[in-house]
Chain A
Amino acid sequence: MTKHSGPPGQPDQPQPAERDAWLSVAARKNRRRRVVLADPRGRGRVLRTIIELEEQTSVGEKLIRDLIRTQLRTGLALGGGTLLLLAALPLVFYLAPSVAEVELVGVRLPWLLLGLLPFPLCYGVGYAYRRLAERHEHDFVSSVDR
């Protein structure tokens, strides 16, 4: 109950005190926490945390399910949007061949659309996803680890 991290040097021993600390997340809210630098985040701690999350099914499960759903939705929205945008191009070219006659700064429009545009588009979408995904993870951490 008194401290968050186990003493360094014996990271693999399950610490009952620590487990209680995890269970009573709310009680821990305003307590001081000892921060140990180079805290070994080894198997022991991971294992314990998983066990704890297994025990308190309702809260932990709900949180992680929500996180997975948000991340998947973000990925699908961004990826699906990009796919639709790019996959629409062949159809447009097929149905409206006159698009190929349009010239922009001396280059035909399809060459610009296929030769240049997709690369900044992919980077932009990737950048947006990184921002969103990291925000979701940050929110998750703060909702778990208050």
Chain B
Amino acid sequence: MIDNPWSLVLVGVMALLTFSLGYVGSRRANTTPDFLVARRAVPATRNAAAISGEYLSAASFLGVAGLVLKDGIDALWYPIGFTAGYLAMMLFVAAPLRRSGAYTLPDFAEARLGPSNLRKFCTFFVICIGVLYLVPQLQSAGLTLNTITGLPPWLGGAAVTVIVVVNVLGGGMRAITLVQAFQYWGKLFAIAAPTFVLFSLFLVGPGNGAQPVDSSGVLRFPEKVEVTTVDPVRVRVAVPMELSATGLVDGYPTDGHVYWTPGLYEVGADTELRFEAGSPVPVVEGSPTSNHDWLRPQTGGLSGLFETYSLIFATFLGTMGLPHVLVRFYTNPDGRAARRTALHVLYLLGLFYVFPTVLGVISRQYLPQLLVTGKTDAAVLLLPTTMQPNLLGQVLGAVVAAGAFAAFLSTSSGLLVSVAGVVSTDILPGKVRDFRWATVLTGAVAIGLAFLLPRSDASLTVAMSFALAASTFCPLLLLGIWWRGLTWVGAMAGLVVGGGLVIGAQVVTVVSSYTGRWAPSVLSQPALVTVPVAFLTMVMISKLTARRRPDDVNQILLRLHAPDPLGFMRDRESRFGVEERSRAARGDDATSSPSGS
């Protein structure tokens, strides 16, 4: 553990800035629309920065570099997918969804397909995806605080939860827009500045780094290293090696010198492994052991190819179904602004994602010990002080830690607001007080799950929620916006089948990870199968139940697609408790249209 007082100071400053910006923003947030949609008056560039700030989560800030360190070039599909998913969202969803005037996904489903039980299903999946996305954020916060200060991991998660809940309680959406716009630039600086410094040090300083790769492409430790495992890991050894271990190896208590032939070894929790300088690096199972495979794309054979395509499917199509991304679009004044905001976001994301990749590549040279435990999410945090064990390294490390904290804070705030918005309008009556209760409730559930569930890589867990979103809300949105034939029965069948398959696959994967990893890799990355199945189900069942098509489907599509100057857009503000429930308003419309003819 690194004792870096600077980190704690900067993390504290970040938390304080978040608080005070939230306070400034919240002084003017009094009404329900203020809380939920920032009164729809956020300028496009600030909104874009806020969206990017919210979107760049722990998975982007820590996870991408960690996966590059571990899996090499194939991990680059994560940042590509996170960006291209945003493009898909801009092309097919942004403007029409904004014009629909709905605030949440369940709201959209009801506006498009009429009142039905579908709304409840949508609510269920929004909460699923939101909480699934929140858990790795809180767990990563624990890891960060643990890495920089040695404090117990639960404290970080709890700290982030408290800060976010208090901030959201204070001002809702209005407050966090300003906070998140600030946090995007904070994060960009926190990753760009260390990257520039470390990359130039990496290039100019030959004596600075070691040469850990020998001529045959085997990764070796540059210096004497001690690694202590936290959880049990399975490591693969490619070259015969010697080390000394204290603890459990392959189920037997071991203390002293060990000789490992190539193969798989199971190292128990709290085991200390000591490697000499120049010793080959055992690598956690599932990652390439040699630099040859790490450098080259698609060395995993057919199943690797399948996984890559599945990841492409999940991230490209899943982004549009993420509740905290969608909810941001309602803060745009109209459809055209929503489109422009999305374009600006693409630019901000592209700017950011270059840096974690570079950091991941550099950390391969300096932090091979993370490959033994597989906790590569810590790479970005540890790299500065490992490369520069002096004041410069400490300051850079502190900057990175503060940036990582900004990532947890902003993503968790966004998720909390969107999930709490759904909970308060759909399960509770929808007043400001209910929104506050919903916030506390959601935060409590998320932090509880974060303690209970086993920790895995942030990007992997996040990819799972992308798969769920891609198999449920992506078909609902795409078909709902562009196809007249969708019925609520078809949409519900698609949600149940797509969501059920993903959740089932995930349960099987978790069970198999405790009982000997027998599940095929298809199940851990199921989007390539589940997304087409969900689409097909929706289309087929909708065709079978064509008479349940809403009568006013033409008017609804007109509202979604008619250009903004014509003024067809109508906000469903009645949902926010300003007037009576929206169903009453819809009833008015239904009665007034015949009378107008």
- Give the interface of A toward B (CB within 8 A): 14, 41, 43, 45-51, 53-55, 60-61, 64, 67-68, 71-72, 75, 78-79, 82-83, 86-87, 89-91, 93-94, 97, 100, 108, 110-111, 114-116, 118-120, 122-123, 125-127, 129-130, 133-134, 137-138, 140-141, 144-145
Contacts and interface: CB of A to CB of B under 8 A. Distances in A.
Contacts of A82: 84, 87
* Residue with the highest number of chain B CB atoms closer than 10 Å, among A55, A60, A110: A110
Contacts of B350: 119-120, 122-123
Nearest to A96: B298
Nearest to A117: B80
A122 B561 contact: no
Contacts of A129: 90-91, 339
29 contacts: A47-B593, A48-B596, A50-B555, A54-B555, A64-B561, A67-B561, A67-B562, A72-B482, A78-B91, A79-B91, A79-B92, A86-B80, A93-B296, A93-B298, A108-B296, A110-B73, A115-B357, A118-B80, A118-B83, A118-B84, A119-B351, A122-B350, A123-B343, A123-B346, A126-B342, A130-B343, A134-B336, A137-B564, A145-B566
Nearest to B559: A50
A90 B589 contact: no
Interface in B439-479: none
A130 B339 contact: yes
Contacts of A55: 597
A119 B87 contact: no
B354 A125 contact: no
B488 interface: no
Contact of A90 (B92, B298, B569, B597): B298
A116 B73 contact: no
B95 A90 contact: no
B354 A115 contact: yes
Contact of A119 (B83, B316, B559, B570): B83
Contacts of B351: 119
Contact of B87 (A53, A61, A79, A90): A79
B80 A114 contact: yes
B557 A64 contact: yes
Contact of B298 (A45, A94, A133): A94
B558 interface: yes
Interface size class of B (residues with CB under 8 A): 35 or more
A14 B562 CA distance: 21
A68 B557 contact: yes
Nearest to A119: B350
* Residue with the highest number of chain A CB atoms closer than 10 Å, among B88, B558, B564, B565: B558
Nearest to A41: B567
Contacts of A86: 80, 84, 312
A118 to B, nearest CB: 5
Interface of B: 73, 76-77, 80, 83-84, 86-88, 90-92, 95, 295-299, 305, 308-309, 312, 316, 336, 339-340, 342-343, 346-347, 349-351, 353-354, 357, 482, 554-555, 557-559, 561-570, 589, 592-593, 596-597
B567 to A, nearest CB: 4
A90 B339 contact: no
Contacts of B567: 41, 45-46, 49
A86 B593 CA distance: 48
Interface of B is mostly: helix
A138 B298 CA distance: 45
B288 to A, nearest CB: 13
Nearest to A95: B298
A54 B554 contact: yes
A26 to B, nearest CB: 18
Contact of B570 (A43, A94, A97): A43
B321 to A, nearest CB: 16
Contact of B568 (A50, A68, A111, A115): A50
A49 B566 CA distance: 9
B316 A83 contact: yes
Contacts of B354: 115-116, 119
A122 B84 contact: yes
Given A49-B568, A137-B563, 12 more contacts: A45-B567, A54-B597, A61-B554, A64-B557, A64-B562, A86-B80, A91-B305, A123-B343, A126-B346, A130-B340, A134-B339, A137-B564
Query: Nearest 8 CB-CB pairs, A to B?
Result: A119-B350, A137-B563, A93-B297, A114-B76, A75-B91, A100-B296, A93-B298, A94-B298
A129 B340 CA distance: 10
Contacts of A133: 95, 339
Given A47-B592, A51-B596, A68-B482, A110 B558 contact: no
Nearest to B75: A114
A90 B297 contact: yes
B593 A122 contact: no
A41 B570 CA distance: 9
Given A49-B566, A67-B561, A86-B84, A14 B596 contact: yes
Contacts of B557: 64, 68
Nearest to A140: B563
B589 A47 contact: yes
